Amino acid sequence: MSDEPKLIVGLGELLWDLLPGGKQLGGAPANFTVMSARLGNRGVIASSLGRDALGDEARAYLAPLPADLSRLQMDQDHATGSVSVTLHDGQAEYVFRRPVAWDFLACTPVWRALAQSADAVCFGTLAQRHEVSREAIRSFLAATREDCVRVFDVNLRKPFYDGRMIGDSLQQATLLKMNEIEMPIVMSLLGLAENSGSDEAALLQSARLLLERFPLKLVCVTMGSQGSLLAAREAHHRHHGIATVVADTVGAGDAFTAALVCFYLRGAPLAVLNEAGNRWGSWVASQRGAMPALSAEMREAIEAQILQATVQ
Protein backbone atom coordinates (compact mmCIF):
# COMPACT_ATOMS: atom_id res chain seq x y z
CA MET A 1 0.00 0.00 0.00
CA SER A 2 1.17 3.53 -0.79
CA ASP A 3 1.00 6.15 1.98
CA GLU A 4 1.79 9.05 -0.35
CA PRO A 5 -0.52 12.04 0.35
CA LYS A 6 -3.40 12.42 -2.11
CA LEU A 7 -5.38 15.43 -3.28
CA ILE A 8 -8.90 14.91 -1.98
CA VAL A 9 -11.78 17.34 -2.61
CA GLY A 10 -15.02 17.76 -0.68
CA LEU A 11 -17.48 19.27 -3.16
CA GLY A 12 -20.78 20.77 -2.03
CA GLU A 13 -22.36 22.28 1.06
CA LEU A 14 -20.56 24.13 3.85
CA LEU A 15 -22.88 25.25 6.61
CA TRP A 16 -23.46 25.88 10.27
CA ASP A 17 -25.22 23.14 12.23
CA LEU A 18 -27.42 25.01 14.71
CA LEU A 19 -27.48 22.45 17.51
CA PRO A 20 -29.42 22.58 20.79
CA GLY A 21 -26.16 23.27 22.62
CA GLY A 22 -24.82 25.88 20.16
CA LYS A 23 -23.57 25.97 16.59
CA GLN A 24 -20.91 23.86 14.91
CA LEU A 25 -19.52 24.21 11.42
CA GLY A 26 -20.35 21.27 9.20
CA GLY A 27 -21.74 20.05 5.91
CA ALA A 28 -20.83 16.54 4.77
CA PRO A 29 -18.20 17.56 2.16
CA ALA A 30 -16.47 19.90 4.61
CA ASN A 31 -16.50 17.31 7.42
CA PHE A 32 -15.13 14.75 4.98
CA THR A 33 -12.39 17.09 3.80
CA VAL A 34 -11.17 18.04 7.27
CA MET A 35 -10.91 14.39 8.26
CA SER A 36 -9.19 13.54 4.95
CA ALA A 37 -6.58 16.19 5.71
CA ARG A 38 -6.14 14.94 9.26
CA LEU A 39 -5.38 11.51 7.85
CA GLY A 40 -2.39 12.93 5.98
CA ASN A 41 -3.83 14.03 2.65
CA ARG A 42 -4.23 17.42 1.02
CA GLY A 43 -7.93 18.04 1.63
CA VAL A 44 -9.52 20.89 -0.35
CA ILE A 45 -12.98 22.30 0.45
CA ALA A 46 -14.84 23.24 -2.75
CA SER A 47 -17.86 25.18 -1.54
CA SER A 48 -19.18 28.71 -1.14
CA LEU A 49 -19.75 31.08 1.78
CA GLY A 50 -21.68 34.32 1.96
CA ARG A 51 -19.95 37.62 2.60
CA ASP A 52 -21.61 37.90 5.99
CA ALA A 53 -20.88 37.38 9.66
CA LEU A 54 -21.48 33.62 9.51
CA GLY A 55 -19.17 33.38 6.49
CA ASP A 56 -16.42 35.26 8.32
CA GLU A 57 -16.92 33.05 11.35
CA ALA A 58 -16.72 29.92 9.19
CA ARG A 59 -13.40 30.96 7.69
CA ALA A 60 -12.05 31.77 11.16
CA TYR A 61 -13.26 28.38 12.45
CA LEU A 62 -11.59 26.52 9.57
CA ALA A 63 -8.35 28.51 9.56
CA PRO A 64 -6.49 26.43 12.19
CA LEU A 65 -7.69 23.14 10.69
CA PRO A 66 -5.60 21.32 8.07
CA ALA A 67 -8.07 21.65 5.17
CA ASP A 68 -7.14 23.88 2.19
CA LEU A 69 -9.53 26.87 1.95
CA SER A 70 -7.97 28.47 -1.13
CA ARG A 71 -10.72 27.21 -3.47
CA LEU A 72 -13.63 28.46 -1.37
CA GLN A 73 -15.93 30.76 -3.33
CA MET A 74 -17.38 33.91 -1.75
CA ASP A 75 -20.94 34.95 -2.64
CA GLN A 76 -21.92 38.60 -2.40
CA ASP A 77 -25.63 37.95 -2.98
CA HIS A 78 -26.49 34.92 -0.84
CA ALA A 79 -26.14 34.05 2.82
CA THR A 80 -23.85 31.45 4.35
CA GLY A 81 -25.66 28.14 4.75
CA SER A 82 -27.16 26.99 8.02
CA VAL A 83 -29.32 24.13 9.26
CA SER A 84 -31.28 23.66 12.46
CA VAL A 85 -30.35 20.29 13.96
CA THR A 86 -32.36 18.47 16.62
CA LEU A 87 -31.20 15.22 18.19
CA HIS A 88 -33.56 12.36 18.97
CA ASP A 89 -31.94 9.38 20.73
CA GLY A 90 -28.58 10.58 19.39
CA GLN A 91 -29.82 10.75 15.78
CA ALA A 92 -29.87 14.07 13.92
CA GLU A 93 -32.88 15.66 12.19
CA TYR A 94 -32.38 18.70 9.93
CA VAL A 95 -34.17 21.83 8.68
CA PHE A 96 -32.13 23.63 5.99
CA ARG A 97 -32.18 27.32 5.10
CA ARG A 98 -32.52 28.14 1.38
CA PRO A 99 -31.37 29.55 -0.92
CA VAL A 100 -27.82 30.03 0.36
CA ALA A 101 -24.34 30.55 -1.06
CA TRP A 102 -23.63 26.88 -1.82
CA ASP A 103 -26.77 26.69 -3.96
CA PHE A 104 -24.86 28.84 -6.47
CA LEU A 105 -21.55 27.02 -6.87
CA ALA A 106 -19.70 27.83 -10.11
CA CYS A 107 -17.30 25.50 -11.93
CA THR A 108 -14.75 28.20 -12.68
CA PRO A 109 -11.42 27.65 -14.47
CA VAL A 110 -9.80 27.45 -11.02
CA TRP A 111 -12.19 24.68 -10.04
CA ARG A 112 -11.66 22.84 -13.34
CA ALA A 113 -7.92 22.83 -12.70
CA LEU A 114 -8.60 21.48 -9.21
CA ALA A 115 -10.81 18.75 -10.67
CA GLN A 116 -8.11 17.70 -13.12
CA SER A 117 -5.60 17.36 -10.26
CA ALA A 118 -7.86 15.53 -7.80
CA ASP A 119 -7.18 11.94 -6.75
CA ALA A 120 -10.65 11.74 -5.17
CA VAL A 121 -13.73 13.94 -4.91
CA CYS A 122 -16.70 13.42 -2.61
CA PHE A 123 -20.17 14.78 -3.45
CA GLY A 124 -23.75 14.13 -2.36
CA THR A 125 -27.37 15.00 -3.06
CA LEU A 126 -28.00 18.05 -0.88
CA ALA A 127 -25.77 20.47 -2.81
CA GLN A 128 -27.54 19.38 -6.01
CA ARG A 129 -30.92 20.70 -4.80
CA HIS A 130 -30.54 23.87 -6.93
CA GLU A 131 -30.01 23.64 -10.69
CA VAL A 132 -27.06 26.06 -10.60
CA SER A 133 -25.00 24.10 -8.08
CA ARG A 134 -26.14 20.80 -9.60
CA GLU A 135 -24.70 21.81 -12.98
CA ALA A 136 -21.47 23.03 -11.33
CA ILE A 137 -21.03 19.70 -9.53
CA ARG A 138 -21.61 17.72 -12.72
CA SER A 139 -19.15 19.91 -14.62
CA PHE A 140 -16.55 19.45 -11.87
CA LEU A 141 -16.96 15.66 -11.97
CA ALA A 142 -16.75 15.64 -15.77
CA ALA A 143 -13.43 17.52 -15.55
CA THR A 144 -11.77 14.91 -13.30
CA ARG A 145 -9.26 12.38 -14.60
CA GLU A 146 -10.40 8.89 -15.50
CA ASP A 147 -8.53 7.46 -12.49
CA CYS A 148 -10.04 9.95 -10.03
CA VAL A 149 -12.15 8.22 -7.36
CA ARG A 150 -15.57 9.92 -7.51
CA VAL A 151 -17.31 9.24 -4.20
CA PHE A 152 -21.10 9.58 -4.11
CA ASP A 153 -22.00 9.89 -0.41
CA VAL A 154 -25.78 9.91 -0.76
CA ASN A 155 -26.79 11.71 2.49
CA LEU A 156 -30.52 11.89 1.76
CA ARG A 157 -32.11 14.99 3.24
CA LYS A 158 -35.83 15.47 2.56
CA PRO A 159 -37.08 16.87 0.23
CA PHE A 160 -33.84 17.50 -1.68
CA TYR A 161 -33.49 14.38 -3.83
CA ASP A 162 -35.23 12.27 -6.44
CA GLY A 163 -34.56 9.17 -8.53
CA ARG A 164 -33.24 11.05 -11.52
CA MET A 165 -30.66 12.97 -9.46
CA ILE A 166 -29.52 9.77 -7.77
CA GLY A 167 -29.31 7.86 -11.05
CA ASP A 168 -27.32 10.62 -12.74
CA SER A 169 -24.94 10.76 -9.77
CA LEU A 170 -24.43 6.99 -9.80
CA GLN A 171 -23.46 7.14 -13.47
CA GLN A 172 -20.57 9.41 -12.50
CA ALA A 173 -19.49 7.59 -9.33
CA THR A 174 -16.68 5.16 -8.59
CA LEU A 175 -17.59 4.54 -4.97
CA LEU A 176 -21.09 4.71 -3.42
CA LYS A 177 -21.72 5.18 0.28
CA MET A 178 -25.04 5.27 2.12
CA ASN A 179 -26.64 3.91 5.29
CA GLU A 180 -28.98 0.97 5.75
CA ILE A 181 -32.03 3.23 5.94
CA GLU A 182 -31.15 4.98 2.69
CA MET A 183 -30.53 1.81 0.65
CA PRO A 184 -34.19 0.70 0.33
CA ILE A 185 -35.21 4.29 -0.47
CA VAL A 186 -32.58 4.55 -3.19
CA MET A 187 -33.52 1.20 -4.69
CA SER A 188 -37.18 2.19 -4.80
CA LEU A 189 -36.45 5.61 -6.35
CA LEU A 190 -34.34 3.93 -9.02
CA GLY A 191 -37.12 1.46 -9.78
CA LEU A 192 -34.80 -1.46 -9.03
CA ALA A 193 -36.63 -2.99 -6.07
CA GLU A 194 -39.69 -2.27 -3.95
CA ASN A 195 -39.51 -3.06 -0.22
CA SER A 196 -35.97 -4.36 -0.61
CA GLY A 197 -35.41 -4.42 3.14
CA SER A 198 -32.49 -3.38 5.33
CA ASP A 199 -31.33 -6.72 6.73
CA GLU A 200 -27.82 -7.82 5.80
CA ALA A 201 -28.87 -10.22 3.03
CA ALA A 202 -31.13 -7.63 1.40
CA LEU A 203 -28.45 -4.95 1.63
CA LEU A 204 -25.90 -7.20 -0.04
CA GLN A 205 -28.36 -8.15 -2.78
CA SER A 206 -29.12 -4.47 -3.42
CA ALA A 207 -25.43 -3.57 -3.46
CA ARG A 208 -24.72 -6.28 -6.02
CA LEU A 209 -27.57 -5.04 -8.21
CA LEU A 210 -26.18 -1.49 -8.10
CA LEU A 211 -22.73 -2.80 -9.05
CA GLU A 212 -24.30 -4.49 -12.06
CA ARG A 213 -26.32 -1.49 -13.20
CA PHE A 214 -23.83 1.34 -12.68
CA PRO A 215 -20.07 1.85 -13.29
CA LEU A 216 -19.31 1.48 -9.58
CA LYS A 217 -16.32 -0.33 -8.12
CA LEU A 218 -17.40 -0.35 -4.47
CA VAL A 219 -20.65 0.01 -2.52
CA CYS A 220 -20.48 0.83 1.18
CA VAL A 221 -23.48 0.55 3.49
CA THR A 222 -23.05 1.87 7.03
CA MET A 223 -25.27 0.38 9.73
CA GLY A 224 -24.76 2.65 12.75
CA SER A 225 -23.62 0.76 15.82
CA GLN A 226 -23.89 -2.49 13.85
CA GLY A 227 -20.92 -1.60 11.66
CA SER A 228 -20.87 -1.68 7.87
CA LEU A 229 -21.02 -3.77 4.73
CA LEU A 230 -18.67 -3.35 1.76
CA ALA A 231 -19.42 -4.93 -1.61
CA ALA A 232 -17.08 -4.96 -4.60
CA ARG A 233 -17.63 -6.85 -7.85
CA GLU A 234 -15.73 -9.93 -6.77
CA ALA A 235 -16.03 -9.90 -2.97
CA HIS A 236 -17.76 -8.42 0.07
CA HIS A 237 -16.87 -7.84 3.72
CA ARG A 238 -18.94 -7.29 6.85
CA HIS A 239 -17.74 -5.37 9.92
CA HIS A 240 -19.86 -5.59 13.08
CA GLY A 241 -18.93 -2.22 14.51
CA ILE A 242 -17.04 -0.92 17.53
CA ALA A 243 -18.58 -0.36 20.95
CA THR A 244 -18.84 3.40 21.44
CA VAL A 245 -20.26 5.78 24.02
CA VAL A 246 -22.03 8.17 21.64
CA ALA A 247 -21.90 11.92 22.27
CA ASP A 248 -23.66 12.72 18.98
CA THR A 249 -23.61 11.21 15.49
CA VAL A 250 -23.14 14.47 13.54
CA GLY A 251 -20.16 13.99 11.22
CA ALA A 252 -19.52 10.35 12.15
CA GLY A 253 -20.57 9.09 8.71
CA ASP A 254 -18.35 11.68 7.04
CA ALA A 255 -15.35 10.54 9.08
CA PHE A 256 -16.13 6.97 8.03
CA THR A 257 -16.17 8.05 4.38
CA ALA A 258 -12.89 9.95 4.70
CA ALA A 259 -11.11 6.96 6.23
CA LEU A 260 -12.64 4.61 3.66
CA VAL A 261 -11.44 6.79 0.76
CA CYS A 262 -8.00 7.34 2.28
CA PHE A 263 -7.36 3.61 2.56
CA TYR A 264 -9.03 2.86 -0.78
CA LEU A 265 -6.54 5.19 -2.47
CA ARG A 266 -3.75 3.24 -0.78
CA GLY A 267 -5.05 0.02 -2.34
CA ALA A 268 -6.07 -1.53 0.98
CA PRO A 269 -8.22 -4.68 1.06
CA LEU A 270 -11.90 -4.60 2.07
CA ALA A 271 -11.23 -5.69 5.65
CA VAL A 272 -8.86 -2.76 6.20
CA LEU A 273 -11.28 -0.30 4.57
CA ASN A 274 -14.03 -1.47 6.89
CA GLU A 275 -11.86 -1.35 10.02
CA ALA A 276 -10.56 2.13 9.24
CA GLY A 277 -14.00 3.51 8.50
CA ASN A 278 -15.52 2.08 11.67
CA ARG A 279 -12.64 3.21 13.87
CA TRP A 280 -12.74 6.80 12.71
CA GLY A 281 -16.53 6.98 12.53
CA SER A 282 -16.86 5.68 16.07
CA TRP A 283 -14.28 8.17 17.34
CA VAL A 284 -16.19 11.15 15.89
CA ALA A 285 -19.45 9.75 17.30
CA SER A 286 -17.80 9.71 20.74
CA GLN A 287 -17.07 13.45 20.46
CA ARG A 288 -19.26 16.57 20.31
CA GLY A 289 -19.63 18.19 16.87
CA ALA A 290 -18.61 17.19 13.37
CA MET A 291 -14.98 18.40 13.46
CA PRO A 292 -13.73 17.63 16.99
CA ALA A 293 -10.15 18.40 17.92
CA LEU A 294 -7.77 15.53 17.18
CA SER A 295 -4.46 15.19 18.98
CA ALA A 296 -1.44 13.52 17.44
CA GLU A 297 -1.57 10.95 20.25
CA MET A 298 -5.18 10.03 19.48
CA ARG A 299 -4.48 9.72 15.76
CA GLU A 300 -1.53 7.42 16.44
CA ALA A 301 -3.60 5.33 18.85
CA ILE A 302 -6.42 4.84 16.33
CA GLU A 303 -3.97 4.04 13.53
CA ALA A 304 -2.39 1.43 15.81
CA GLN A 305 -5.83 -0.07 16.52
CA ILE A 306 -6.55 -0.31 12.79
CA LEU A 307 -3.21 -2.01 12.16
CA GLN A 308 -3.64 -4.39 15.09
CA ALA A 309 -7.16 -5.41 14.07
CA THR A 310 -6.27 -6.02 10.45
CA VAL A 311 -3.17 -8.15 11.04
CA GLN A 312 -4.92 -10.56 13.38
DSSP string over 25-80:
EE-HHHHHHHHHHHTTSEEEEE-EEESSHHHHHHHHHHTTSSSB-TT-EEESSSPP
Which of 26, 9, 27 lies closest to 71, judged by CA?
9
pLDDT at 90: 64
pLDDT at 59: 97
pLDDT at 168 over 90: yes
pLDDT at 52: 97
**Out of 39-48, 103-112, 294-303, least confident range:** 294-303
pLDDT at 21: 80
Given pLDDT bands bounded at 50, 70 and 90, which one contains residue 2?
Answer: low
Given pLDDT bands bounded at 50, 70 and 90, which one contains residue 106?
Answer: very high
Q: What is the average per-residue pLDDT within 218-222?
A: 98
Given pLDDT bands bounded at 50, 70 and 90, which one contains residue 198?
Answer: confident
Write out the H or E segment, with its range, that includes residue 16: strand 15-19
HSE at residue 148, side-chain half, CA atoms within 13 A, is 24
pLDDT at 197 over 80: no
pLDDT at 99: 97
Q: What is the average per-residue pLDDT within 244-254?
A: 88
**Out of 23-32, 43-52, 230-239, 269-278, least confident range:** 23-32
pLDDT at 82 over 70: yes
pLDDT at 1 over 60: no
Given pLDDT bands bounded at 50, 70 and 90, which one contains residue 289?
Answer: confident
pLDDT at 141 over 90: yes
Q: How far is CA 207 from the centre of its chain?
A: 18
| Domains within the chain, CATH numbers bracketed | 7-311 (3.40.1190.20)
Helix, strand counts (H, E) of the chain: 10, 14
pLDDT > 90: what percent of the chain? 81
pLDDT at 145 over 70: yes
pLDDT at 309 over 80: no
Strands 48-50 and 42-46 turn out to be unpaired
pLDDT at 94: 81
Q: How large is the C-alpha radius of gyration of the chain? A: 18
pLDDT at 308: 84
